[in-house]
Structure formats: structure tokens, C-alpha cells
């Protein structure tokens, strides 16, 4: 069976994790701090804080911005549930926007949904393809949109407009106008979950690029405390001679990354461009070349003049397939020993959100996209022969089901 996206666990990873284990320091410490420094360099961000998941990172930043009941956060309907759940955790309301024709959230839909309660917008770089950040940044800075913004704390007053908190769970390494995601919005959060491009088993990182007069370094330092129970010192500082006494300055969270996770991340990041992205691009290009010969294939866009994907998910669509036919095609592909997936079931289709009152008919493009979408295997160790096996399995399955 060809799996969907197993991690690359090789001797380099094992050696680096071993090194952390043997050092005796396994929680947040020198490897996490080094990983943060390397992520700043790699993404071109002002500051980076590592956390134990992207979900934790997103929630931390919504809470940092002081979200509360009555506040609204605009998110795409077409995303993973984490994007919505973190808003709900804060007591605020996720307002779901439909997507455009390339999987990412529609700017027109966002603009229509803005109200005086809108505090933040959370775009998602689906599959690793960056959203239209220039347009999005321009939108929140536009006079009439700014005039709708109603700050209710000091940070919101300082920003003076809606916050852009990008869910960049898929898009580390992707570029927008030559700049890496993470550096093009106020805040962006990457995921290092096991199935993501760059993994630390579980983990995430917050890239901070808040505009003047925010002091990103000071915010980073405070977030270190907020993500560790509000303790004025972390375990490493406390372990130093005479450093035992600490204070608690707030009821913080337990969101810190461990050095075992960071050990994996250090190796993954060091080889990310040259090995990971190069191989993933090759797989994307191979799929696109093969499927472009077929009329039924609606190919994902992953490189344009000003954007380049991180090649996270290859989102193939089968033109004209109904949801039922798509499901049948998936069954046929599995019968040929190839694992595929669907990204995503739009949130309004899922029980929890449906019960909250979100209606699938309000998101026609998300529904149309979901119905005929199939995500294909993409991972470092997928060989050229296996790429061919995947292509053959898809073509055979589509021919059989669609005639
Ligand atoms: C994976 C994912 C997340 C959550 O990442 P974790 O690190 O597992 O918390 C959030 N948003 C999207 C779009 C994702 O795919």
C-alpha cells in the first residue's frame, strides 16, 4: 500500500533526538531556542515562538489580541476544524467565508462579512498555496473598513484595524512576492504535526511581524511567559544556580515546545529547501504533467508569477464528478493499494458546526470544490515508480467510474 504522507524518520533525525535525550535536557531549552532562531532566518520574520501545536499557537494569539464573546473572526469554510475551534475556545464567533476557485478564501466574501464586531481575519494557505496577501492587507487598511473596526482594548487600539492572523499550517517555505509566508502578515502560525511538510511529531510556531509601534521582541518575551503558566522564568532559567525563585504573573497556558520536538525540527529545517521542497515539487510536477493529458482533470494551481506553494497537498479535482462518483473513485484507487484523502469536508457539513446553524448552501464554491476533490500522496520517500503507480491508479479509477 502506498501511504498518504508518512514522515521521513532517518538516522539524522534519530541522532539529533538522541542528542537531546543524552543531554539530559528534554523540555524547552537550547534546541528550542536554536530552532526559533533558525526559523526567524528561514522565514524572514521579526520573531518566532515555538509552541506544542499550531492550534495552541493560533489560540494563544487570539487571546493575546483579547478576543471575547461578541467578537467575530472571519475564517474560510474550507479548512481544517482547528481554524474554527480556536475562535470558539475564546468565546468569539467564527464567521465563515466561501472560497474562490483556487481553494483559498475569497476576498470578496471576506469583505461582505466584515461588521463592527470583526476583530480578526484568519486566511488559510490551503495546500501550501499563499492567499492574496497584498489585497488582504490593503483591505484591512482601507479607510471604510478601518472605520468599522471597534477596538475594545489597548492592543486593538494600537493596531487600529482588524488583525490578520494567518493559519499557515500548510505553507512554511511558500513564497508571496518573493517573501516567505510568515513574514507577510501581522501574525502567522505554522504546524509541525506529523503529516505536515516539516514535522516535529507535534508542534507549531508563531511568526510575529506586527507593525509599528508594536515591539515584536517584547511581545515574544511576554508570550514565552504566557505559553508557560505565566511563570516569570522557564525551567532552564530556574535550573541555574540561585535561580529557583520565580513568580507567576498571569494564569498562562501550557503551550511550550520540548527540545525533543525541536531536535527533529532542526534537522527538518536544515534540509527543507534542498531536499523536502525539491522532492515535493518534483512529485507535484509529475502529477500535473501526467494529468494535464486528461480532459477530466482540473489541476491545482501551485505556482504563479508572484506565488509559490510549499507543495503540501496535491488537490486534484475530477471535472463533472458528483460527490458519490468521487467517493467511488477513491474506493477504486484504494483497491489499487494507493492511499488518497479529501481536503476538506467544508466545516458546515460537520455536525458540530451544522448544529450551530452554519448552512452548507451558503458556501456553494466550497461545496463544488469538495465534491470532486481527491488529494494524492506527496511525501519525500515516494519514489518515481510509486508516482507512476499513483497516476495509473487514478486514471484507471476515473475511467472506470466516469466511463
Ligand atoms: C494541521 C492544521 C492545523 C492544526 O495544526 P496542529 O499543529 O495539529 O495543531 C490548523 N489548520 C490547518 C489548516 C491544518 O491543516
Separation CA 227–CA 222 (nearest Å): 9
Task: Inform me whether the pLDDT recorded for 399 exceeds 90.
Answer: yes
Angle between helices 323-335 and 364-371 (to 10 degrees): 30
CA of 346 to the centre of ligand 1 (A): 15
pLDDT, residue 234, reads 87
> Cell digits for 60?
494563544
pLDDT band at residue 15 using 50, 70 and 90 as cut-offs:
very high
Question: Which of these ranges, 22-36, 69-83, 119-133, 234-248, has the smallest mean pLDDT?
Answer: 234-248
Residue 369 sits at the vertex; the CA angle it makes with 177 and 164, to the nearest 5 degrees, is 40
Say how many C-beta atoms besides its own lie within 10 A of residue 279's C-beta.
17
Q: In ligand 1, which atom is closest to the CA atom of 195? A: 1
Ligand 1 within 6 A of CB of 130: no
Residue range 76-110, pLDDT digits in tens = 999 999 999 999 999 999 999 999 988 999 999 99
**What span, in angstroms and rounded, lies between the C-alpha atoms of 382 and 393?**
15
Q: Please report which confidence band the pLDDT of residue 240 belongs to, taking 50, 70 and 90 as the band edges.
A: confident
Residues 61 and 189: beta-carbon distance below 8 Å: yes
Placement of cell 480532459 in the chain: 295
Query: Atom of ligand 1 at shortest distance to CA of 126?
Result: 13
Sign of CA dihedral 389, 393, 395, 396: positive
pLDDT surpassing 90 at residue 238: no
Instruction: For residue 56, give the ligand 1 atom closest to its CA.
Output: 9
DSSP character string of 139-154: HHHSHHHHHH----SH
350-390, pLDDT tens digit by residue? 999 999 999 999 999 999 999 999 999 999 999 999 999 99
Question: What was the pLDDT predicted at 236?
Answer: 85
- Residue among 56, 82, 89, 166 whose CB has most ligand 1 atoms within 8 A, to mutate: 82
Ligand 1 pocket, 371 CB below 6 A? Answer: no
> Is the pLDDT at 14 greater than 90, yes or no?
yes
Place of cell 491508479: 393
For ligand 1, the distance from its centroid to the CA atom of residue 205, given in whole angstroms, is 11
Question: Tens of pLDDT along 124-144?
Answer: 999 999 999 999 999 999 999
The answer to whether the CB of 97 is under 6 A from ligand 1 is: no
Q: Global pTM?
A: 0.98
* Nearest-atom index, ligand 1, CA of 53: 7
- For ligand 1, whether the C-beta of 312 sits within 6 Å is no
Does the beta carbon of 300 lie inside 6 Å of ligand 1?
A: no
Q: Is 265 in the pocket of ligand 1 (CB under 6 A)?
A: no
Q: What number does the ligand 1 atom closest to the CA of 170 have? A: 15
Q: Supply the residue whose CA is at minimum distance from atom 5 of ligand 1.
A: 54
Closest residue to atom 2 of ligand 1, CA basis: 169
Q: Can you list the pairs that 279-284 forms with residues at least 24 positions away whose Cβ atoms lie under 8 Å? A: 279/380, 279/382, 280/197, 280/310, 280/311, 280/312, 280/378, 280/380, 281/311, 283/311, 283/314, 283/378, 283/382, 283/387, 284/309, 284/311, 284/314, 284/378
Smallest Cα–Cα separation from 315: which of 45, 99, 88, 144? 99
Instruction: Please answer whether residues 43 and 172 qualify as being in contact, where contact means their C-beta atoms are separated by less than 8 angstroms.
Output: yes
Q: Is 193 in the pocket of ligand 1 (CB under 6 A)?
A: yes
- The response to whether residue 86 sits with its C-beta less than 6 Å from ligand 1 reads no
Q: Is the pLDDT of residue 38 over 90?
A: yes
Q: Choose the residue to mutate in 7, 50, 55 for probing ligand 1, maximizing ligand atoms within 8 Å of C-beta.
A: 55
The three state secondary structure string of 256-321 is ECCHHHHHHHHHHHHCHHHHHHHHHHHHHHHHHHHHCCCCCEECCCCECCCEECCCCCEEEEECCC
Distance 76 CA to ligand 1 centre (A): 14
What are the structural domains, with CATH classification, of the chain? 11-270 (3.40.640.10), 273-402 (3.90.1150.10)
Neighbours of 347 (CB within 10 A): 26
Range with the poorest average pLDDT among 217-226, 228-237, 333-342, 359-368: 228-237
| Ligand 1 center to 67 CA (angstroms) | 20
Confidence bin at 217 (pLDDT 50/70/90)? very high
**pLDDT per position as a tens digit, 312-337:** 999 999 999 999 999 999 999 999 99
Q: Rounded to an integer, what distance in angstroms lies between the CA atom of residue 46 and that of residue 39?
A: 10
Burial tier of 271 (Cβ tally within 10 Å: 0-12, 13-18, 19+): middle
Q: How far apart are CA 311 and CA 303, in angstroms?
A: 9
Across-strand partners of 188?
166, 207
- Measured distance CA(117)–CA(93) in Å, rounded: 10
The pLDDT of residue 50 is above 90:
yes
3-class SS of residue 82: helix
392 Cα to the center of ligand 1, angstroms: 30
Helix and strand numbers, DSSP H then E, in the chain: 16, 13
Mean pLDDT of the chain: 97
Cα of 95 to ligand 1 centre, how many Å?
A: 18
Distance between CA 87 and CA 93 in Å, rounded? Answer: 6
Report the percentage of the chain scoring pLDDT > 70. 100
For ligand 1, mutation pick of 81, 87, 131, 167 (most atoms within 8 Å of CB): 167
pLDDT of residue 235: 85
pLDDT, position 315 = 98
Q: Is the CB of 347 under 6 A from ligand 1?
A: no
C-alpha 357/C-alpha 351 separation (Å) is: 10
Sign of CA dihedral 17, 383, 169, 362: negative
Instruction: Count how many residues are written for the chain.
Output: 403
C-alpha distances (whole Å) from 104 to each of 108, 315, 389 are: 12, 12, 29
Q: Cα–Cα distances in Å, from 203 out to 44, 52, 234, 390?
A: 20, 4, 18, 30
The cell numbers describing 112, all together, are: 461582505
pLDDT at position 343 is 97
Centroid of ligand 1 to alpha carbon of 54 (angstroms): 6
Amino acid at each position: 500500500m502506498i501511504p498518504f504522507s508518512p514522515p521521513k524518520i532517518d538516522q539524522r533525525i534519530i541522532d539529533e533526538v538522541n542528542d537531546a535525550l543524552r543531554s539530559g535536557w528534554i523540555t524547552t531549552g537550547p534546541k528550542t531556542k536554536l530552532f526559533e532562531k533558525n526559523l526567524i532566518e528561514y522565514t524572514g520574520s521579526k520573531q518566532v515562538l515555538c509552541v506544542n501545536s499550531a492550534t495552541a499557537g493560533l489560540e494563544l494569539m487570539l487571546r493575546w489580541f483579547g478576543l471575547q464573546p461578541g467578537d467575530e473572526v472571519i475564517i474560510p469554510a474550507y479548512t481544517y476544524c482547528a481554524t474554527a475551534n480556536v475562535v470558539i475556545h475564546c468565546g468569539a464567533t467564527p464567521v465563515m467565508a466561501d472560497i474562490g476557485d483556487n481553494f483559498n478564501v475569497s476576498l470578496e466574501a471576506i469583505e461582505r462579512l466584515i461588521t463592527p464586531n470583526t476583530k480578526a481575519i484568519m486566511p488559510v494557505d490551503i495546500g501550501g498555496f499563499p492567499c492574496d496577501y497584498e489585497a488582504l492587507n490593503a483591505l484591512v487598511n482601507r479607510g471604510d473598513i478601518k472605520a468599522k473596526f471597534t477596538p475594545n482594548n489597548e492592543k486593538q487600539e494600537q493596531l487600529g484595524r482588524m488583525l490578520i492572523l494567518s493559519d499557515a499550517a500548510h505553507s512554511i517555505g511558500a513564497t508571496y512576492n518573493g517573501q516567505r509566508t510568515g513574514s507577510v502578515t501581522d501574525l502567522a502560525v505554522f504546524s509541525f504535526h506529523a503529516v505536515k511538510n516539516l514535522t516535529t511529531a507535534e508542534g507549531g510556531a508563531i511568526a510575529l511581524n506586527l507593525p509599528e509601534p508594536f515591539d515584536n521582541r517584547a511581545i515574544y518575551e511576554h508570550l514565552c511567559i504566557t505559553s508557560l503558566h505565566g511563570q516569570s522564568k522557564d525551567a532552564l532559567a530556574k535550573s541555574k544556580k540561585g535561580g529557583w525563585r520565580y513568580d507567576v504573573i498571569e494564569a498562562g497556558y501550557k503551550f511550550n515546545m520540548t527540545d525533543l520536538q525541536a531536535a527533529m525540527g532542526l534537522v527538518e529545517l536544515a534540509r527543507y529547501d534542498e531536499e523536502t521542497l525539491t522532492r515535493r515539487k518534483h512529485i507535484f510536477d509529475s502529477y500535473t504533467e501526467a494529468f494535464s493529458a486528461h480532459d477530466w482533470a482540473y489541476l491545482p494551481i501551485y505556482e504563479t508569477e508572484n506565488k509559490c506553494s510549499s507543495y503540501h497537498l496535491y488537490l486534484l479535482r475530477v471535472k463533472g464528478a458528483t460527490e458519490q462518483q468521487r467517493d467511488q473513485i477513491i474506493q477504486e484507487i484504494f483497491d489499487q493499494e494507493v492511499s488518497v484523502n479529501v481536503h476538506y469536508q467544508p466545516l458546515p457539513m460537520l455536525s458540530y458546526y451544522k448544529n450551530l446553524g452554519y448552512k452548507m448552501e451558503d458556501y456553494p464554491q466550497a461545496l463544488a470544490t469538495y465534491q470532486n476533490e481527491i488529494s494524492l500522496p506527496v511525501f519525500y520517500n515516494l519514489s518515481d515508480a510509486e508516482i507512476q503507480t499513483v497516476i495509473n491508479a487514478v486514471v484507471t479509477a476515473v475511467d472506470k467510474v466516469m466511463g
